[in-house]
Amino acid sequence: HFKSNEDLFTRLFGWGEVEYVKAVDGVSFDIAEGESFGLAGESGCGKTTCGKSLLHLLEPTSGSVRFDGRDVTDPDVRDEMDFRTEAQIIQQNPYESINPRYRVFDWIKEPLDVHEIGTAEEREETVIETIESVGLNPPEAYMHEYPSELSGGERQRVSIARAIILEPSFILADEPASMLDVSVRASILDLLDRLQEELGISILYISHDLSLLKHMCDRIGIMYLGKLVEVGSATEVINDPQHPYTKALVGSTPTVDPDDRRESVELQGEIPDPVNLPSGCRFAPRCPEAMDECTAEEPAMYPTEAGQQARCVLYDEETVNTIPK
Ligand code: SF4
């Protein structure tokens, strides 16, 4: 949860000036045990900043991240609950996320060494079992290899093995398949799905790919310019979007399903300058349904009849009743 007004800032360096952008502003959501939650939105909407601040890879200026009921933005709490073992990340680019000087076995074993878990023999056994569990079989054929000797899909399996070796409760999967060949994407996503079910891990998927999120997630949140604008069940948000921005995003996603009757919505204008945000709803300058009421103040999240929450005055009964028919 990141509070409004003094939230997570990104610093921009201009010609001798320093300006701040609220990369994530007033975003609040929860992820249940064993649940998969997706964050979607265009580049620059704040989804990756949000994900990284959950793992404390970025420090929010205010707000809190509660893990198992405890605020892990407090360094003492993080140390006490050994948060580094509880939360892991799978990065987008398997060509950059593995240290090229490590062999597969040593790269996967390193977290066990750092946290001094088990004896040398136990660590070796755990690494071999984990290599097997991510589908690199037989493990002996992979454990002595360097990353440069592996394909993109094999490298991502190594990254997944390293992420699960400490038996975390939470994983941030940041565009986990976007750098892979189409032919191996499905097998990596299936692997994540299977491991999540077997190990009961909560996963936060970050992706611009709505089809992937619909397939992988229980619920998703759509972000626009640092704000969550819609949250709901993954199927409902994509099959029946409520917020005008989600409708546009879903409408612009190609589909091969001949029965898909999604509405195509033309967006006007460009994304506003994040340093000079419009007043009221920040989507107003591009929204096909914008009206005077939209620029008065930032809309809250309202429940919709379809079951989602949407940050739009069209779902605020009080505002809707004042609009002339
Ligand atoms: Fe569009 Fe107004 Fe809703 Fe914003 S509040 S999304 S401008 S209708």
Across the chain, mean pLDDT equals 89
Closest residue (by CA) to atom 3 of ligand 1?
A: 312
Structure-token match 């001094």, residue found: 116
Which band of pLDDT confidence, cut at 50, 70 and 90, is reported for residue 321? confident
Question: Does the pLDDT value for residue 257 go beyond 70?
Answer: no
> What's the gap in Å between 151 CA and the centre of ligand 1?
45
Q: What is the pLDDT of residue 304?
A: 96
Taking the C-alpha atoms of 104, 105, 108 and 109 in order, what is their torsion angle to the nearest 10 degrees?
Answer: -150
Length of the chain in residues, anyone? 325
Q: What is the pLDDT of residues 32-72, one digit of tens each?
A: 999 999 999 988 889 999 999 999 888 888 889 999 889 99
Ligand 1 lining (C-beta closer than 6 Å):
243-244, 281, 283-284, 287, 289-290, 294, 299, 312-314
Q: What is the pLDDT of residue 59?
A: 84
Q: What is the pLDDT of residues 173-212, one digit of tens each?
A: 999 998 898 889 999 999 999 999 999 999 999 999 999 9
> What's the gap in Å between 319 CA and the centre of ligand 1?
12
Q: What is the pLDDT of residues 150-174, one digit of tens each?
A: 999 999 999 999 999 999 999 999 9
- The closest of 268, 267, 253 to 40, measured between CA atoms, is 253
Q: What is the pLDDT of residues 18-42, one digit of tens each?
A: 667 788 888 999 999 999 999 999 8
Considering only residues 298 and 16, tell me which one the structure prediction assigns the higher pLDDT: 298
Q: Distance of CA 10 to CAs 81, 208, 209, Å?
A: 28, 21, 24
ipTM: 0.99
* Overall average pLDDT of the 241-252 stretch: 93
Q: What is the pLDDT of residue 5?
A: 47
* Reported pTM: 0.90
> What's the gap in Å between 140 CA and the centre of ligand 1?
57
- The rounded percent of the chain whose pLDDT value lies above 70 is 89
* Overall average pLDDT of the 252-262 stretch: 64
Longest CA span, the chain: 75
DSSP conformation letters of 230-272: EEEEHHHHHHS--SHHHHHHHHTS----TT--PPP-PPPS-PP
